[in-house]
Amino acid sequence: MFGGLNTAMLASSGAEAGGAVPGYQTVTFSLILVVTLLLLATEKIHKTVLVLLSGLLCLFLADYWGFFPHKVGHHLPVYIEMIEWEVIGIVIGATVFVEIAARSGVFTWVSVKMLKASRGDPFKLLIFLSVLTAVFSAFLDNITAMIIIGSLTVVACRKLDLDAKPFLITEGIMTNVGGLLTLISSIPNIIIGKAAGISYLSFVLVATPYVVVATIVTLLIARMMFGKTVRPLRDTEAKAHNLALVTAFDEWETVEDRRFFYTSIVAVVLVILGFALKAQIPILRDFGIEIVAMLAAVLMLLLHAKDVEHDLDDVEWSLVFFFVGLFVVIGVMDKAGVLLEIGDLLTRVTDETGPYGLMWLTAIFSSVTDNIPLAAMLAKILGPTPEAAEAVGSVEWWAVVFGANLGGNITPIGSASTVVACTILKRHGLKLTFLEFVKIGGVFAFAQLLIATGYLYGIWLLLG
Amino acid sequence: MREQSLDEFESIFEQASIPVLEIEPVTLARVAVVLKNDALDASVCRLAAHLKTRFGSEVQVHYPDTLSKDSVAATTTVTDFAAAPAAFRSTAELVGQVSIGRSQLVLMPEPEDEAGRVVSVDALVEGTSPPILLVRSEIDEPASVFSRVLHSLTGSFQQTQNFSHSFTLVEDAGQVLLLHVVSEAEVADVRDAMRVSPEVDTEEGEKLVEKLSHHGERFLKGVVAAAREAPYDASYRLAVGDIVETVRTELEAGGYSVLVVGHHVEGHSHISADDYQLMHTVRDIPVLAL
């Protein structure tokens, strides 16, 4: 019914090792994968160390069992084939770009502007800050977006004498909605987008209608759920009081160097245009999106040349190494036929439920463990994009994108941004237990996934 | 790292918020007048009577026991203070009386002639909590004393309580100038320390000094905005230089009617060395030591 999974390709990949992989070997690697995923979920060992360890174990075993057909010794080219350098390029480039742009004060300036635009009205404040969180998440990584907006929320709520909890929870949830907006908004998007060959612009065009609807619904739910705190102000005196409090914020106080501020705005606009119009720009046409990301990073390093060492320190190197280990694990799992087995299992699920089941399963899995390995694994398993859907990706790809992003809203540990929201709450003595979050986040996630189900059906209808 | 970022951004936004201040008038329900058998006693009594009319204050007269009750009665007769005058034998006893009486302002003449002084001003400032107004010249028109106030700010002053006395006491059509002088010598010391410290980058150090002055100015802006909202005729001036010299120059140029020095935070006076110097050397207008 829907595009289909990549089982044929996976089968040939397994055979690459020199014929069918013996069952006990597949079982052994499956066990390694299960243990790795379980340990990832428990967070007892740092995820980078764990995945690198697992990657090395997989490599040694794969070599021992003769998975590598062209025996050239343990040299990098063998491993490099498994590593998705494009993904790593995007992560490094985007991180450097975003960290430096954030230092220019562009994002804090906009945040304070939005705070002032709310005139201190709690409901408007919820709308403005939540929408801004979604927009920031689209262009920054979710953690940075949550840190900036969350910090402002805490300060603003303290001044306005409001309970920050409803705001922070809604913002944490909105980062995952905003994270759906572009190809580079979240790691699962990067992985899936690259594997599916979806362009930046196509991704935005497909995702935007959903993000708009999901944002409106999320805000309506937040209004109903947190009515007491986020009620619009009616009293004229209270309105004037709150207006005076937010007017006292000076957005320029967050900008240290105006020249750097203005050049950063130009750079941000240029880079977004570069991502969006890459296919139309002759010099960029033949390069991958990771080259645009690296170009953006170099541009920002040029603009902020005085502290290059410090700026490069901001690259999340642990994430980069995590990817290296993860791609090795998944590469070996592919050769060992483990992904073929998982693909078969998923085929049975999708045959019964269509891509909807895949989306809900991905969401549930993402709510309790890291969505990056899941996305990376599914990117290998999912079938090639059908011809009819070449430009925008198949329904299955989108099912994984929606599931991996929105699943993070179900539990406080489901995504990095909800973890940050809970950390901010804890720092300020606002208690929120795991179950309390699940009760709140579950409602939001259920509504968002329900809309996504309908949206996927719409995509399927459009693609025929 | 993330925790650090949270701190960093919270502090950025905290600093982006100019304080919205409310100037709460101080209560002047009880005013103490200290007589000294001086020509200025009558001026102080007139001022107390004026404050009594303005704030409904209860005035308690204190006098050294070397003075006769009759002369005290003669000085205070025109002012009609209800409470019976209290005699004291020493500064320590006066401190006790002022404290027990929970006076909120002390008015005291201070003759130029040191021999004529029966009370040690320094001991009184240190021993009591209410602000003390030192009167050193004849006051014919009590309403003129708080018509043009120069409030000198030194050190850390980021509390509105410091300004409340000036804004409470200033007359309806009066003006208040908040003068913050950053000590040039102190800034030079900080710069020297930064220059020799391997831990501090000179450029960063300069930025820090700039930031501190900038924050001070933002706070003053907030105070002046709040004062104007109240509404008071208020303005501020920032200067870098020798504190005492700058204040004296401003006094000479501005035609002020009273000088306010020191901090008064949570019921306690904090007078710096510069404030002490000003308190003792400015003689042509009254000085209010907070």
Whole-number pLDDT of residue B80: 67
Please name the member of A111, A143, A253 whose beta carbon is closest to the beta carbon of B2.
A143
Rg over CA atoms, chain A: 23
Average pLDDT, chain A: 84
- What is the rounded CA–CA span in Å between residue B81 and residue B48? 9
CB B231 within 8 A of CB B238: no
**How would you list the strands of the sheet with B86-88, edge to edge?**
B86-88, B58-64, B30-34, B105-109, B132-135, B287-289, B258-261, B148-153, B175-183, B233-241
Whole-number pLDDT of residue A2: 41
Q: Report B:210-239 residues touching A (Cβ under 8 A).
A: 218, 222
What phi-psi label fits residue B49: left (phi over 0), alpha (psi between -120 and 50 degrees) or beta? Answer: alpha
Using CA coordinates, name the residue in chain A closest to B17.
A249
Q: Where are the domains positioned within chain A?
A: 87-313
Which residues on adjacent β-strands are paired with residue A270?
none
List CB contacts (< 8 A) between B20 and chain A: 159, 244-245, 248
CB A251 within 8 A of CB A109: yes
C-alpha triplet A233, A239, A242: angle, nearest 5° = 110
Q: Check A248 against B222: CB less than 8 A apart.
A: yes
Please name the member of B6, B9, B16 whose beta carbon is closest to the beta carbon of A250.
B16
pLDDT, tens digit (0-9, with 9 covering 90-100), for A99-118: 888 888 899 999 999 999 99
* Best to test chain A binding among B12, B21, B219 (most A CBs inside 10 Å): B12
Q: Check A249 against B20: CB less than 8 A apart.
A: no
Please name the member of B10, B17, B222 whose beta carbon is closest to the beta carbon of A151.
B10
Whole-number pLDDT of residue A320: 85
CB A373 within 8 A of CB A185: no
Rg over CA atoms, chain B: 21
List CB contacts (< 8 A) between A111 and chain B: 13
Q: Check A254 against B13: CB less than 8 A apart.
A: yes
- Measured CB to CB, residues of chain A less than 8 Å from chain B are 108, 111-112, 143-144, 147-148, 150-152, 154-156, 159, 244-245, 248-251, 253-254, 420, 423-424, 427
- What is the rounded CA–CA span in Å between residue A457 and residue A182? 20
* Best to test chain B binding among A98, A104, A147 (most B CBs inside 10 Å): A147
Whole-number pLDDT of residue A171: 95
List CB contacts (< 8 A) between A316 and chain B: none
List CB contacts (< 8 A) between A423 and chain B: 2-3, 6
Helices and strands (DSSP H and E) totals, chain B: 10, 12
B24-138, superfamily in CATH? HUPs (3.40.50.620)
Task: Please list the pLDDT of chain A residue by residue as tens digits (464 residues).
Answer: 344 455 555 555 554 544 578 888 889 999 998 898 888 877 788 888 998 999 999 988 988 888 876 655 555 555 557 777 888 888 888 888 888 888 888 999 999 999 999 999 999 999 999 999 999 998 887 888 898 999 999 999 988 999 999 999 999 999 999 999 998 888 889 888 888 888 888 899 999 999 999 999 999 999 999 988 888 988 888 888 888 888 888 888 888 888 899 999 999 898 888 888 877 888 887 888 888 889 999 988 888 877 788 888 878 788 888 888 888 888 888 888 888 788 788 778 777 787 888 899 889 888 877 788 888 888 888 765 555 445 556 788 899 999 999 998 998 888 888 888 888 888 888 888 888 999 999 999 999 999 999 998 888 787 65
The distance from CA A457 to its chain's CA centroid, rounded to whole angstroms, is 23
Whole-number pLDDT of residue A153: 94
Q: Where are the domains positioned within chain B?
A: 24-138, 146-290
Q: Check A151 against B2: CB less than 8 A apart.
A: no
Residue B269, classed as helix, strand or coil, is strand
Q: Check A254 against B14: CB less than 8 A apart.
A: no
Q: Which of B88, B109, B84 is nearest to B33 (CA)?
A: B109
Whole-number pLDDT of residue B230: 72
Please give the CATH topology (third level) of the domain spanning B146-290. Rossmann fold (3.40.50)
Q: Residue A293, Cβ neighbours under 10 Å: how many?
A: 25
**In A354-415, where does DSSP find H-type helix?**
355-368, 371-381, 395-406
> How far separated are the first and last CA of chain B, in Å rounded?
45
Q: Check B6 against A427: CB less than 8 A apart.
A: yes
Please name the member of A148, A250, A253 whose beta carbon is closest to the beta carbon of B9.
A148
CB A362 within 8 A of CB A399: yes
pLDDT, tens digit (0-9, with 9 covering 90-100), for B52-87: 888 888 888 888 888 777 777 777 765 667 677 888
Whole-number pLDDT of residue A76: 52
Q: Check B17 against A427: CB less than 8 A apart.
A: no
List CB contacts (< 8 A) between B16 and chain A: 108, 112, 249-251, 253-254
Q: Residue A246, Cβ neighbours under 10 Å: how many?
A: 21
- What is the rounded CA–CA span in Å between residue A12 and residue A25? 17
Using CA coordinates, name the residue in chain A closest to B219.
A248
Using CA coordinates, name the residue in chain B closest to A107.
B9
ipTM of the complex model: 0.76
Q: Is the peptide bond before B109 cis (omega within 30 degrees of 0)?
A: no
Using CA coordinates, name the residue in chain A closest to B222.
A248
Task: Please list the pLDDT of chain B residue by residue as tens digits (290 residues).
Answer: 456 688 888 888 888 887 666 777 788 888 888 887 777 888 888 888 888 888 888 888 888 888 777 777 777 765 667 677 888 888 888 888 888 888 888 888 876 666 556 677 888 888 888 888 988 888 888 888 899 999 988 755 555 556 788 888 888 888 889 888 877 777 777 777 777 776 666 666 666 667 667 777 777 777 787 787 777 888 888 888 888 999 999 998 888 999 998 876 666 667 778 888 888 888 888 999 88
